[in-house]
Every structure is written in structure tokens, then in C-alpha cells.
Amino acid sequence: MPPLVKRLASAIGLLVAVLVLNFLLIQMAPGDPVEVIVGEMGGASEELIARLRAEYGLDKPVIVQLGLYLSKVVTGDFGYSYYFNQPVLGLILQRLPATILLVVSSLMIAVVVGTLMGIYSARKPKGLLSHFVTIFSLVGYAAPVFWTGLMLLILFASVFPIFPVSGMQNVRGSETWIGAVLDVLHHLVLPSVTLASIYIATYSRLSRASMLDVLGSDYIRTARAKGLNERRVIFGHALRNGLIPVVTMVGLQFGQLFAGAVLVETVFNWPGLGRLAYESILRRDYPTILAILFFSAILVMVANILTDLAYGKIDPRIGGSRRKAPKPKGAAQ
């Protein structure tokens, strides 16, 4: 089987497993959607409750419900949200771009800032700024993300009202296309910095260790012996090698980033999947929760595939069937 086919097959298998497990786990969890609906309605007769159960198929045995659910998902139907009263798929597609925007920009901030900080403190491990970097990143790592978010809100939206308090767009909207983009970016700053703050620590420590290791290696001495200046030694020779563990970490952390997004989106009222997840869990809105978990799994898989591709780009030893390199005899090692 060609590698890509193999890969897709295993991805599909994994997705089915995600669906089934999530479905069963939610069935086991306490709480009853009908009771929540009834509670919001301010009470209802036994008759109405029974009718609601029948309508949502909740009176059937679990295994039958699972079968029904899976057969519908295959056709792209993720059911009907109990709470939002609209098809789940539409609900999710509406929220997905906001989350992808938030997660990807946070990741970029974390990787770029973290790596630069790491490079700096690897170059001058005993410098004052290095200690500052260490403290800063540890605080960012240790502080709960919702607390960091609230602090940033108080500081930069209330005390110094530079950034908007919540949401993704200005209520009044914007007339021009460019104005709308700037508006979204303006709203994006605080949430993405908040989400990035946890991961900056990871990346700065990781890239520091990795750069220290790389800078001590023989090929860096070779690069210096060529007469390259420090900047070219670092960015031309050391960085690509130093980035290898960072890329690995990006792939591993993508899932966690989604978990972080739930909190950040809730704090900043960001209209993404995370907040949707939070709301639908509160309402016991099972079809929505299941679909969110399903789509997050897809995103994590896509991220992992991208990471692997990036990995092969950065490290030619992993690239595999990249090109028809003539293998010389005795080219072991």
C-alpha cells in the first residue's frame, strides 16, 4: 500500500474510534438533555417529556442510537442541536474558522517568540536577559490561562483601553474589506497572546536546550572555520538543526492547544468551537459536543500530517523518498 493510502486508512479508522468512544463516554456521563430542555422551559408534563425523548431518539437502546448516529454521520449529517435548534454541521462550520484563526495565530506567536527567546538565552546563557526570559516563560507556563486572560483584559482593555474586551468583531461592523480584517486582528491580539503564553515557555526552554546542544556540535565549529559571521552561523547553520525538536513539539501540542482554546474563547467571548463546546456541555447538547470532538480530532490529525511534512523538509534524514539520490556503496550510518 502506498504510504499516503495507509495513512488515510489509519486516519479514518481513528476517526471512527473517536466517534464511537465519545458517543459511549457521553452516554455514561451524568445528566439528561431532556431534563435540561424541560428545565429551561420551566417544567413540562410527563407526556411532553416522553414526546421529546421519542423525537430525539433518546428512548431507544444505546447501541441502536449509536448505529443510527454513525449511519447519519457517514452522510454528513451530525444531527440537530437540542439547544441551538439548528443543524449541528452548520453550527460548527460557522464557528470553525474563528477557532482555526485563534489556534494558528497563538501557535505562531508561541513558536516565533519562544524560539527567539530560546536562541537568545542559548547564546548568552548567563546574561541578565536570559534570566528574565526564564522567569517570564515560567510565569507564563505556571499561571492558569483564564487568569492570564483576565489579567490581560483588566490591564489592556480596562486600565489602558487599547484592545476590545470581547468578541471577534466590532458591533457596528466595518464598511471596507481591509477595515474588517484590521478589526478582527485587533480583537485577536489579547486572546492569541493569552493562549500563546502557556506555550512560549515550552518553546523557549526547548529551543534553548536544543540550540545549546547544536551550538556545541562539530559542524558549527566547521561553519566558524569557514569564516561565517555569528548571524549566519546561528540562522544559516544552527537554527534548522535546533528546530527539529520544536517541530516535533508543535505536532504533539496541537491537541492541547484546542483544550486551551476552550478556556480562552470563553474568557474573551470568542465565537469559536471552544466556546461552543463550553456552552453545549452546559446544556447537555450531545450532538453538538460529539461533532465538536469529531472536528477537533480531524484538525489534530491534519496538524500532525502537516508536522510530519515539515519535519521531512527540515531534516533530510527523515524525508525518505524525497528524491532519487544515488546511494553510494557503504553509505550506511
Partner 1 sequence: MDPVLEITDLKVGVDTGRQVHSVLDGVSLKLTPGKTLGVVGESGCGKSMTALSTMGLLPDRFAVSGGSIKLMGEDLLAAKPARMRELRGNAISMIFQEPMTALNPVLTVERQIAEVVELHQGKTGAEAREIALEMLRAVQIPSPEDRLAAYPHELSGGMRQRVMIAIALACRPKVIIADEPTTALDVTVQAQIFRLLRELQDQTETAIMLITHDLGAVAEMADEVAVLYAGKCVESGPVREILSNPSHPYTRGLMACTPRLRLGAAAASAAEEGLGEIPGMVPPLGRFPKACRFAPRCALADARCHAEAPPVVPTGPDHSALCWHTNKMEQVA
Between residue 213 and residue 232, which ones bind partner 1 under the rule CB under 8 A? 217-219, 221-229
Query: How many residues sit close enough to partner 1 to count as binding (CB under 8 A)?
Result: 30
* Cβ distance to partner 1 smaller for residue 90 or 316: 316
Q: How far is the CB of 116 from partner 1 (least distance, A)?
A: 20
- Would you count residue 320 as binding partner 1 (CB under 8 A)? no
Write down the least CB distance from residue 35 to partner 1, Å: 59
- Kindly state the smallest distance separating residue 233's Cβ from partner 1, in Å: 10
Nearest to partner 1 of 33, 242 (CB atom) = 242
Give the whole-angstrom CA distance, residue 169 versus residue 175: 12
Q: Which of 240, 252, 256, 309 binds partner 1 (CB under 8 A)?
A: 240
Residue with smaller CB distance to partner 1, 147 or 235: 235
Q: Could you say whether residue 237 binds partner 1 (CB under 8 A)?
A: yes
Q: Closer to partner 1 at the Cβ: 172 or 317?
A: 317
Q: Which three cell numbers stand for residue 142?
A: 505556571
Site string for partner 1, 272-311 (x = CB under 8 A): ----------------------------------------
Q: Which of 126, 172, 231, 317 binds partner 1 (CB under 8 A)?
A: 317
SS3 for the chain, per residue? Answer: CCHHHHHHHHHHHHHHHHHHHHHHHHHHCCCCHHHHHHHHHCCCCHHHHHHHHHHCCCCCCHHHHHHHHHHHHHCCCCCECCCCCCEHHHHHHHHHHHHHHHHHHHHHHHHHHHHHHHHHHHHCCCCHHHHHHHHHHHHHHHCCHHHHHHHHHHHHHHHCCCCCCCCCCCCCCCCCHHHHHHHHHHHHHHHHHHHHHHHHHHHHHHHHHHHHHHHCCHHHHHHHHCCCCHHHHHHHHHHHHHHHHHHHHHHHHHHHHHHHHHHHHHHHCCCCHHHHHHHHHHCCCHHHHHHHHHHHHHHHHHHHHHHHHHHHHHCCCCCCCCCCCCCCCCCCC
The least distance separating partner 1 from the CB of residue 113, rounded to whole angstroms, comes to 23
Regarding 6 and contact with partner 1 (CB under 8 A), the answer is no
Nearer to partner 1, 251 or 312 (CB): 312
Burial of 104 (0-12, 13-18, 19+ CB in 10 A): middle
* CB-nearer residue toward partner 1: 255 or 319: 319
**Chain residues that interact with partner 1, rule: CB under 8 A:** 217-219, 221-229, 236-237, 240-241, 314-317, 323, 325-333
